[in-house]
Amino acid sequence: MAALCRAEPRTKEKIMSSRQNIPATGSNLIMVPLAKLKNSPKNVRKMPHSLSEIDALAASIAALGMLQYPIVEPETDAKGKPTGAYLVNAGEGRRLAQLLRAKRKKIKKDEPIPCILDITHNATEISLAENAVRASMHPADEFEAFAELHNEQGMSAEDIAARFGVTAAVVRQRLKLGAVSPALLTLYRGEEMNLDQLTAFGITDDHARREEVWQSLALNISMIPNAAC
Protein backbone atom coordinates (compact mmCIF):
# COMPACT_ATOMS: atom_id res chain seq x y z
CA MET A 1 0.00 0.00 0.00
CA ALA A 2 2.96 2.30 0.46
CA ALA A 3 3.39 2.70 -3.27
CA LEU A 4 -0.21 3.80 -3.57
CA CYS A 5 0.32 6.53 -1.03
CA ARG A 6 3.27 8.17 -2.81
CA ALA A 7 2.14 11.75 -3.25
CA GLU A 8 2.56 13.77 -6.42
CA PRO A 9 3.08 17.56 -6.32
CA ARG A 10 -0.22 19.26 -5.54
CA THR A 11 -1.56 21.94 -7.84
CA LYS A 12 -3.21 25.00 -6.31
CA GLU A 13 -6.64 25.43 -7.82
CA LYS A 14 -9.49 27.78 -6.99
CA ILE A 15 -12.66 26.27 -5.64
CA MET A 16 -15.04 25.25 -8.43
CA SER A 17 -12.39 25.69 -11.13
CA SER A 18 -12.97 23.58 -14.21
CA ARG A 19 -11.52 20.09 -14.06
CA GLN A 20 -11.85 16.90 -16.03
CA ASN A 21 -13.52 13.86 -14.56
CA ILE A 22 -10.99 11.31 -13.39
CA PRO A 23 -11.36 8.05 -15.33
CA ALA A 24 -11.36 4.78 -13.40
CA THR A 25 -8.12 3.47 -14.83
CA GLY A 26 -5.44 1.28 -13.31
CA SER A 27 -3.39 4.37 -12.44
CA ASN A 28 -5.91 5.73 -9.90
CA LEU A 29 -8.38 2.92 -9.20
CA ILE A 30 -7.37 1.26 -5.94
CA MET A 31 -8.92 -1.30 -3.60
CA VAL A 32 -9.08 -0.12 0.01
CA PRO A 33 -10.24 -2.30 2.96
CA LEU A 34 -13.53 -0.91 4.26
CA ALA A 35 -12.06 -0.53 7.76
CA LYS A 36 -9.35 1.75 6.32
CA LEU A 37 -11.84 4.26 4.88
CA LYS A 38 -12.58 7.31 7.03
CA ASN A 39 -14.86 10.32 6.77
CA SER A 40 -12.87 13.27 5.48
CA PRO A 41 -12.76 16.44 7.62
CA LYS A 42 -12.69 18.29 4.28
CA ASN A 43 -16.14 16.97 3.35
CA VAL A 44 -18.31 20.07 2.89
CA ARG A 45 -21.52 18.19 3.70
CA LYS A 46 -22.18 18.81 7.39
CA MET A 47 -25.79 17.59 7.50
CA PRO A 48 -25.51 13.82 7.98
CA HIS A 49 -27.26 11.33 5.72
CA SER A 50 -30.52 10.02 7.16
CA LEU A 51 -30.82 6.37 8.16
CA SER A 52 -33.38 5.82 5.40
CA GLU A 53 -30.99 7.25 2.80
CA ILE A 54 -28.18 4.95 3.94
CA ASP A 55 -30.52 1.95 4.01
CA ALA A 56 -31.74 2.68 0.48
CA LEU A 57 -28.18 3.13 -0.77
CA ALA A 58 -27.11 -0.14 0.86
CA ALA A 59 -29.97 -1.94 -0.90
CA SER A 60 -28.99 -0.40 -4.23
CA ILE A 61 -25.34 -1.38 -3.80
CA ALA A 62 -26.35 -4.93 -2.92
CA ALA A 63 -28.44 -5.17 -6.08
CA LEU A 64 -26.35 -3.23 -8.59
CA GLY A 65 -22.94 -2.65 -7.03
CA MET A 66 -21.44 0.81 -6.59
CA LEU A 67 -22.27 2.76 -9.74
CA GLN A 68 -19.88 5.52 -8.66
CA TYR A 69 -16.72 4.93 -6.65
CA PRO A 70 -15.71 7.04 -3.63
CA ILE A 71 -12.90 9.54 -4.25
CA VAL A 72 -10.17 9.28 -1.63
CA GLU A 73 -6.79 10.61 -0.60
CA PRO A 74 -4.26 9.10 1.86
CA GLU A 75 -4.60 10.17 5.48
CA THR A 76 -1.40 11.63 6.92
CA ASP A 77 -0.32 12.33 10.49
CA ALA A 78 0.92 15.64 11.90
CA LYS A 79 4.32 15.03 10.31
CA GLY A 80 2.82 14.34 6.89
CA LYS A 81 3.45 10.59 7.07
CA PRO A 82 0.74 8.29 5.63
CA THR A 83 -1.21 6.42 8.31
CA GLY A 84 -2.38 3.67 5.98
CA ALA A 85 -5.97 4.91 6.07
CA TYR A 86 -7.79 6.86 3.36
CA LEU A 87 -10.07 9.89 3.67
CA VAL A 88 -13.28 9.84 1.63
CA ASN A 89 -13.58 13.31 0.08
CA ALA A 90 -16.56 12.30 -2.07
CA GLY A 91 -18.80 9.32 -1.41
CA GLU A 92 -19.37 9.35 2.35
CA GLY A 93 -22.88 7.98 1.83
CA ARG A 94 -21.43 5.00 -0.03
CA ARG A 95 -18.93 4.41 2.79
CA LEU A 96 -21.72 4.45 5.39
CA ALA A 97 -23.85 2.14 3.23
CA GLN A 98 -20.99 -0.36 3.02
CA LEU A 99 -20.48 -0.14 6.78
CA LEU A 100 -24.18 -0.90 7.22
CA ARG A 101 -23.82 -3.93 4.95
CA ALA A 102 -20.85 -5.09 7.01
CA LYS A 103 -22.85 -4.62 10.23
CA ARG A 104 -25.54 -6.84 8.71
CA LYS A 105 -22.84 -9.38 7.83
CA LYS A 106 -23.50 -9.04 4.10
CA ILE A 107 -19.83 -8.23 3.49
CA LYS A 108 -16.63 -8.48 5.54
CA LYS A 109 -15.51 -5.65 7.82
CA ASP A 110 -12.33 -5.41 5.74
CA GLU A 111 -14.11 -5.87 2.39
CA PRO A 112 -11.97 -4.38 -0.44
CA ILE A 113 -13.79 -1.29 -1.71
CA PRO A 114 -12.93 0.14 -5.16
CA CYS A 115 -11.99 3.81 -4.84
CA ILE A 116 -10.62 6.57 -7.04
CA LEU A 117 -7.34 7.93 -5.66
CA ASP A 118 -7.08 11.69 -6.26
CA ILE A 119 -4.09 13.50 -4.77
CA THR A 120 -4.04 16.21 -7.41
CA HIS A 121 -7.25 18.17 -7.00
CA ASN A 122 -8.43 20.28 -4.08
CA ALA A 123 -10.33 18.03 -1.65
CA THR A 124 -12.89 20.72 -0.81
CA GLU A 125 -13.58 21.28 -4.50
CA ILE A 126 -14.10 17.55 -5.01
CA SER A 127 -16.53 17.37 -2.10
CA LEU A 128 -18.41 20.48 -3.23
CA ALA A 129 -18.74 19.14 -6.78
CA GLU A 130 -20.05 15.83 -5.42
CA ASN A 131 -22.77 17.53 -3.36
CA ALA A 132 -23.65 20.68 -5.29
CA VAL A 133 -23.00 20.18 -8.99
CA ARG A 134 -25.79 17.72 -9.69
CA ALA A 135 -29.49 17.78 -10.42
CA SER A 136 -31.97 15.62 -8.55
CA MET A 137 -34.29 13.34 -10.48
CA HIS A 138 -37.82 14.70 -10.82
CA PRO A 139 -40.37 12.54 -8.93
CA ALA A 140 -42.33 11.97 -12.16
CA ASP A 141 -39.23 10.42 -13.74
CA GLU A 142 -38.93 8.09 -10.76
CA PHE A 143 -42.60 7.10 -11.00
CA GLU A 144 -42.22 6.18 -14.67
CA ALA A 145 -38.94 4.32 -14.06
CA PHE A 146 -40.56 2.18 -11.35
CA ALA A 147 -43.47 1.49 -13.71
CA GLU A 148 -41.03 0.39 -16.43
CA LEU A 149 -39.29 -2.04 -14.07
CA HIS A 150 -42.68 -3.49 -13.16
CA ASN A 151 -44.37 -3.53 -16.57
CA GLU A 152 -41.45 -4.24 -18.91
CA GLN A 153 -38.95 -6.06 -16.70
CA GLY A 154 -41.57 -8.06 -14.81
CA MET A 155 -40.31 -7.07 -11.37
CA SER A 156 -42.78 -7.28 -8.50
CA ALA A 157 -43.30 -4.48 -6.00
CA GLU A 158 -41.42 -6.59 -3.44
CA ASP A 159 -38.46 -7.07 -5.82
CA ILE A 160 -38.23 -3.36 -6.55
CA ALA A 161 -38.55 -2.51 -2.85
CA ALA A 162 -35.66 -4.82 -1.94
CA ARG A 163 -33.41 -3.27 -4.58
CA PHE A 164 -34.05 0.34 -3.63
CA GLY A 165 -34.44 0.15 0.15
CA VAL A 166 -38.10 1.20 0.34
CA THR A 167 -41.25 -0.64 1.36
CA ALA A 168 -43.45 -2.52 -1.09
CA ALA A 169 -46.29 -0.15 -0.16
CA VAL A 170 -44.21 2.83 -1.32
CA VAL A 171 -43.41 1.03 -4.56
CA ARG A 172 -47.10 0.29 -5.21
CA GLN A 173 -47.93 3.95 -4.65
CA ARG A 174 -45.27 5.01 -7.14
CA LEU A 175 -46.47 2.42 -9.64
CA LYS A 176 -49.94 3.96 -9.48
CA LEU A 177 -48.51 7.40 -10.07
CA GLY A 178 -46.37 6.09 -12.92
CA ALA A 179 -49.52 4.73 -14.58
CA VAL A 180 -51.17 8.15 -14.72
CA SER A 181 -51.65 9.65 -18.17
CA PRO A 182 -48.34 10.92 -19.63
CA ALA A 183 -50.08 14.20 -20.38
CA LEU A 184 -50.88 14.69 -16.69
CA LEU A 185 -47.32 13.76 -15.70
CA THR A 186 -46.16 16.48 -18.08
CA LEU A 187 -48.33 18.98 -16.19
CA TYR A 188 -46.85 17.75 -12.91
CA ARG A 189 -43.32 18.19 -14.24
CA GLY A 190 -44.23 21.72 -15.30
CA GLU A 191 -45.61 22.49 -11.81
CA GLU A 192 -49.10 23.03 -13.24
CA MET A 193 -50.38 20.22 -11.02
CA ASN A 194 -49.28 19.29 -7.50
CA LEU A 195 -48.64 15.82 -6.09
CA ASP A 196 -51.98 15.65 -4.25
CA GLN A 197 -53.83 16.38 -7.47
CA LEU A 198 -51.75 13.82 -9.37
CA THR A 199 -52.41 11.22 -6.68
CA ALA A 200 -56.15 11.69 -7.16
CA PHE A 201 -55.77 10.43 -10.71
CA GLY A 202 -54.21 7.19 -9.48
CA ILE A 203 -57.57 6.05 -8.10
CA THR A 204 -58.74 4.85 -11.50
CA ASP A 205 -57.05 3.45 -14.62
CA ASP A 206 -59.65 5.13 -16.82
CA HIS A 207 -58.02 8.09 -18.56
CA ALA A 208 -61.40 9.58 -19.42
CA ARG A 209 -62.38 9.46 -15.76
CA ARG A 210 -59.07 11.12 -14.85
CA GLU A 211 -59.88 14.00 -17.21
CA GLU A 212 -63.35 14.27 -15.66
CA VAL A 213 -61.76 14.58 -12.21
CA TRP A 214 -59.38 17.18 -13.60
CA GLN A 215 -62.35 19.18 -14.86
CA SER A 216 -64.09 18.80 -11.52
CA LEU A 217 -61.12 20.54 -9.92
CA ALA A 218 -62.03 23.58 -12.04
CA LEU A 219 -58.89 23.28 -14.15
CA ASN A 220 -59.06 23.75 -17.88
CA ILE A 221 -58.65 20.47 -19.75
CA SER A 222 -57.21 22.40 -22.67
CA MET A 223 -54.05 22.90 -20.57
CA ILE A 224 -53.25 19.22 -20.98
CA PRO A 225 -50.98 18.66 -24.00
CA ASN A 226 -52.08 15.81 -26.26
CA ALA A 227 -55.20 15.35 -24.13
CA ALA A 228 -56.43 12.42 -26.19
CA CYS A 229 -54.69 9.65 -24.19
Query: What pLDDT sits at residue 221?
Result: 47
Q: What is the mean pLDDT of the chain?
A: 79
Model-level pTM?
Answer: 0.64
Pairing, β 112-117 against β 71-76? parallel
Query: What pLDDT sits at residue 195?
Result: 87
Model confidence band, residue 69 (pLDDT cutoffs 50, 70, 90): very high
- Tell me the percentage of the chain whose pLDDT exceeds 90: 35
Stretch 49-54: mean pLDDT, rounded?
Answer: 90
Model confidence band, residue 109 (pLDDT cutoffs 50, 70, 90): very high
Pick the residue with more confidence: 14 or 60? 60
Model confidence band, residue 215 (pLDDT cutoffs 50, 70, 90): low
Closest CA to 38 of 76, 75, 3: 75
Write the DSSP string, the chain.
-TGGGPPPPP----TT---PPPP--TTTEEEEEGGGEEE-TT----SPPPHHHHHHHHHHHHHH--SSPPEEEEEE-TTS-EEEEEEEEE-HHHHHHHHHHHHTTSS-TT-EEEEEE--SS-HHHHHHHHHHS--PPPHHHHHHHHHHHHHTS---HHHHHHHHTS-HHHHHHHHHHHTS-HHHHHHHHTTSS-HHHHHHTTS-S-HHHHHHHHHHTT--GGGSTT---
For 34, 184, 186, 188, 191, the CA distances from 220, given in Å and listed in that order, are: 56, 12, 15, 14, 15
Stretch 136-148: mean pLDDT, rounded?
Answer: 87
